[in-house]
Amino acid sequence: MSIVFNNAQLPGIVSPERMGRLSGFGWGMGYLGGILVLLLIYFLFIQPDVGLFGITGEASLDIRVSMIVCGVWTLVFTVPAFMVLRDRPKPRAATVGVAASYRLVWASIRGLWVTSRHTVYFLLASALFRDGLAGVFAFGAVLAAGTFGLSAGDVIIFGAAANIVAGIGAAVGGRLDDALGSRKVIAGSLIGLIVAGSGVFIFASAGVITYWIGGLLLCLFVGPAQASSRTFVSRFTPHGRE
């Protein structure tokens, strides 16, 4: 839910001609943070037989503690946004009930259909390909362990490498976004995802090297697809409707 409001702030903090660069850089920094907390958790709790504060793998306690660490990490690095960023002044919306709020959403979509139909098309398409991206994340570790036999430690190392590649892809994709346009970057990234993902299945018999090459190539295109998606919405949604 929080990413919706995060994305909606983009038009208010950067000019349109630099929006892609900032979006890609921001998403890349998110991947960098993912690497840091992943390695922190791995070396402090998961890799040692007895980790920090006496944490062990009994009853998966090391994994459960990792969830708490991630929650605290998110809280700490969210604080600067509350301290620095400010909403643009606007009249306070009237308080309505749940049913009325859904009627307002439907009215907004109907209004967009009349004034900015391509935005509605994008929202429908992105609903599908964002679910695809979620599937990649959900089944990535399952494939690694179940199909290619990676250990838990190997999966974490792959995750760190994947975040590095995804961060680079997001940053480069952001610059291409400003130069070529959001639509071209999204389309190119989705084609890259399809090719790389298909390669993992087609060449699975080659063993774990397939997962490393195909998986990292796939991650290269994940960041641009995500970062340029919010840039597209920010650039083409009618002013005031972000």
Calculate the average pLDDT of the chain: 85
pLDDT at residue 9 tops 90? no
Residues above pLDDT 70, as percent of the chain: 99
The Cα–Cα gap between 176 and 12 comes to 21
The Cα–Cα gap between 114 and 14 comes to 28
How do residues 179-198 score in pLDDT, each as one tens digit? 998 889 999 999 999 999 89
The Cα–Cα gap between 48 and 62 comes to 10
The Cα–Cα gap between 216 and 168 comes to 11
pLDDT of residue 188: 93
Confidence band for 132, pLDDT divided at 50, 70 and 90: confident
Mean pLDDT value of segment 50-66: 86
How do residues 145-170 score in pLDDT, each as one tens digit? 777 888 877 888 888 888 889 889 98
Mean pLDDT value of segment 2-30: 84
Q: Is the pTM of this model over 0.85?
A: no
